[in-house]
Amino acid sequence: TVYEADNEWYTPSANALSADEAAEVGARYIWDGFGDSIDGKFVSLFYSHHPSGTRAYWCGMVADSADAFANDRSLYWFTVCAISGEGIDIGQFLVGDRESSLEIRELMMQGVISQEPVIDDTQLELSAKIASEYAQRHFSNSTVVSVELQRATPNAIDRDSDGNVFVTDYFLTFSITDSTGREAEVSILMESEQLGWIMTQHNDIIPGYNYDAPGGIG
């Protein structure tokens, strides 16, 4: 079931995919990225074409029901080029419940949890290899040429018998560049090796665009 969100700013161009076509593209994108079918799910779509970008997009959210969107219970999100259908961004909501995520964020701000994880070289090499494989599937018409760890974000915690907090899992986010120079931000869970997201939309920002100039978006 496809919903096209009300949009007072942008109207799809005559060359753009329809909302239904964009939902089909998104379904294939999710299948290719995660191996999951969204048959029977609900898709909410929003068209955008910011003046700071080189292309227009369809941005989608996938959930089990219409009510799930309002209740912050979406399953996946994706962004595709509104004209060509090329996959731009994709992700799934893997982080545990909202309260746990907020607790981790607060503990990080308090300095209780270190943002500098201790990851051995073997684990880092394996995670980088997995992230690179996801990126290569995304860059279907080019080749991955470099992989670099960008950051490690705590995703799960536990406490010992003395009440000391320690991190049990991280999101490892890599900067991965292909042979055309396009960069993907790829994030995976260290323990389960599951893909969190792939994001490439930042490559489409017009170089030197001034958001505060006349015609900018502030």
Whether the predicted pLDDT of 95 surpasses 80: no
Residue 21 has pLDDT above 90, yes or no: yes
Q: Which pTM does this prediction carry?
A: 0.86
Q: Write out pLDDT tens, residues 188-206.
A: 998 889 999 999 999 999 9
Residue 215 confidence (pLDDT) above 50: yes
How far apart, in whole angstroms, are the C-alpha atoms of residue 135 and residue 145?
11
